[in-house]
Amino acid sequence: MQDAALHGAEVPSREAILDAATALMARLGYAGTSISKISAASGSPASSIYWHFGNKDGIYLAVLRRARQYLVDSLPGIPAGDTVEERLTAFLDGAAAAFEQHPHDLRLLLDLGMLEQGTGVAAIAELGQYRLALRQWATDSLGHVFGLADRPAVADEIARFMLSVVGGTAIARWFDGPVASLPVQQLRVALLALARHHGLPVDEGRP
């Protein structure tokens, strides 16, 4: 957070409050984050927080929406390459970069938030929209990697597996810190094995 308000120059901006709330909710979850903690972390009086967001549910929803936008915008496009190996490398490199760039956002969007009691309906709907967008990205990207334009069900299955690994790694990172990075090499082996299981031509050099 670079807002001058954090150094006492002025009342923190809406974005500075969201920065503080994001860090707290990524670390403590929805239930463990309070208005008073956000106030202390951002240097903003509670009245200013209520003015911007209404209540804690409003803050949580704003945090989720911003996290979704940041993360979705950072996802790589359709991977380039002439072979399966080249396209898969491009895809995994891009996915790993997005994971490292947005660990807080992944914690917020892929964690146990939907299971926490007290989470508002709008926040749960936002999580659902994010998951749909992420699944569509993974399905489109991996469908292109393995040439699955005519086998959407297989592309969806491979994408679901990929996202389960990403989600598990995001939660592991919450407990273990930066040491828990996306297991790119293991994921490569697993994705290729899953493709072979479905009879896809994935030998090195195959288009």
Q: What is the pLDDT of residues 84-102, one digit of tens each?
A: 999 999 999 999 888 887 7
Percent of the chain with pLDDT over 90: 41
Q: How far is CA 175 from CA 107, 111, 180, in A?
A: 11, 12, 9
Q: Residue 132: its pLDDT value, please?
A: 87
Q: How far apart are CA 153 and CA 159, in angstroms?
A: 10
Average pLDDT of the chain, as a whole number: 82
pLDDT reading at 74 higher than 60: yes
Find, among 205, 180, 29, the residue nearest to 96 by Cα. Answer: 180
Q: What is the pLDDT of residues 132-183, one digit of tens each?
A: 888 999 999 999 999 999 999 999 999 999 988 887 887 777 677 666 788 8
Predicted TM-score (pTM) of the model is 0.76
Cα 29 to its chain centre, rounded Å, is 15
Helices 184-197 and 152-176 cross at an angle (nearest 10°) of 160
198 or 124, higher pLDDT: 198
Segments in 56-116 forming alpha helices (H): 56-74, 84-101, 103-110
Q: Residue 118: its pLDDT value, please?
A: 56
pLDDT reading at 8 higher than 60: no
Tokens linked to 106:
């992944």
Segments in the chain forming alpha helices (H): 14-28, 35-42, 46-53, 56-74, 84-101, 103-110, 121-145, 152-176, 184-197
Q: What is the pLDDT of residues 37-57, one digit of tens each?
A: 999 999 999 999 999 999 888
Tokens linked to 77:
């496009």
